[in-house]
Amino acid sequence: MRIDIHAHYFPLEYLDRLDLYGASHVTGLIRKMKLEATGFSGLEAHFRHMDRSQVDMQILSISGQLPYFEKENDAVDAARLANDMYAHIVREYPKRFAAFACTPLPHVRASIDETRRALDDLGMVGVTAGTFVLGRSIADPAFDEFFAELNRRKAVLFIHPTGGSLGSQLLESTHLAWPVGAPLEDTVCMLQFMQANFPSRFPDIKIILPHLGGFAPFLAARLDHLQDHFLSPSALPPSQQAQYFWYDTVNASPSALRCTQELVGTDHLLMGTDYPFWRDDAFKRCVDYIGESSLPAGEAERILGANSQKLLGLE
């Protein structure tokens, strides 16, 4: 069974709701790329790409268009809309789709309530969150109660960059927010989780980092060497803490995949495509490169689906 852990679906009604609450600066990229979908019509392209690459199931997430608003009522309304729409898709196509729930952060109690509704009532397989919430790191202590609930549930949490370039005007002005800024967000998020001591404080959350963890696997030796600059003296080396996380394979470079595999092992790698941002030949490349990475066939098959199946408890 091949499972795509990193895929998106952007309903037009949901994007309109975000715009209503003042997030048109966020939805603009999706509209410019014409990635919005109306009803089930947008799923036809999903099926076409999945069938071409023999992908059995996608785990959908609204990540990148998260319902984060200062007004709690706005955030809750948008989150519930997205989760209800995703749950409807999963009910219609239970063998092709599962979904990660979004939550109305930064409102912690409301986010816990929506997590309970999404996981218990709607049957979602985990939760998604951005690397930043209205300018605040997702690892901020303000969200500890939310993470405590995820830890109690032994929940899966899928992290996604927000496209904010970590506030860098240089990355924004040079149009590098997504080519470079996104994997940089992944890397910084991972290190901030380490700084906040997540591996020991929340040992039962299964956190998935996108894009092979950004630059972190490539920099593992450097991070170990310089860990006294950003970690407490008693902290384990970053290369060891890296094994606490899971990583999706959106990258398409066999050497990058092998680098991450050497650091964290095969069982923490999960195939992903970032559809619809990677589509057509790029989608197929995201799937095919895993089998072309010189890893043993059995290990490649675990990455392509068995690891996600086990992590998410899918039959």
Cβ-based neighbours of 163, under 8 Å, separated by 6 or more: 29, 64, 177, 178, 181, 182
Distance CA 194, CA 191 (A): 5
186-197 confidence digits (pLDDT tens)? 999 999 999 999
| Cβ neighbours, 10 Å, residue 51 | 11
Domains of the chain: 3-312 (3.20.20.140)
What is the structure's pLDDT at 29? 86
Distance CA 309, CA 315 (A): 7
Region of 294 on the Ramachandran plot (φ > 0 left; ψ -120 to 50 alpha; else beta): left
141-180 confidence digits (pLDDT tens)? 999 999 999 999 999 999 999 998 889 999 999 999 999 9
244, two tokens: 């606490």
> With 0-12 CB in 10 A as exposed, 13-18 as middle and 19+ as buried, what is 296?
exposed
246, two tokens: 């899971």
17, two tokens: 């709701």
26-40, 146-160, 166-180, 275-289: the lowest-pLDDT one: 26-40
The model's confidence at residue 34, banded by pLDDT at 50, 70 and 90, is confident
Distance CA 7, CA 77 (A): 23
What is the structure's pLDDT at 23? 84
From residue 308, give the alpha-carbon distance in Å to each of 39, 102, 193, 246, 287.
27, 19, 22, 10, 14
What is the structure's pLDDT at 33? 85
What is the structure's pLDDT at 32? 87
Would strands 136-137 and 132-133 be described as parallel, antiparallel, or unpaired?
antiparallel
Three-state secondary structure call for residue 265: coil
* Long-range pairs for 49-53: beta carbons < 8 A, 24 or more residues apart: 49/273, 49/275, 49/279, 49/280, 49/283, 49/284, 50/4, 50/96, 52/283, 52/284, 53/2, 53/283, 53/284, 53/287, 53/288
What is the structure's pLDDT at 265? 97
The reported pTM is 0.96
The amino acid at residue 261 is Q
* Helix intervals (H) in 118-267: 144-153, 169-173, 182-195, 198-201, 220-225, 238-241, 254-264
List beta partners, residue 7: 60, 275
Reply yes or no: is the peptide bond before residue 276 cis, omega within 30 of 0: yes
Distance CA 20, CA 274 (A): 26
Distance CA 173, CA 188 (A): 21
The amino acid at residue 20 is L
What is the structure's pLDDT at 50? 97
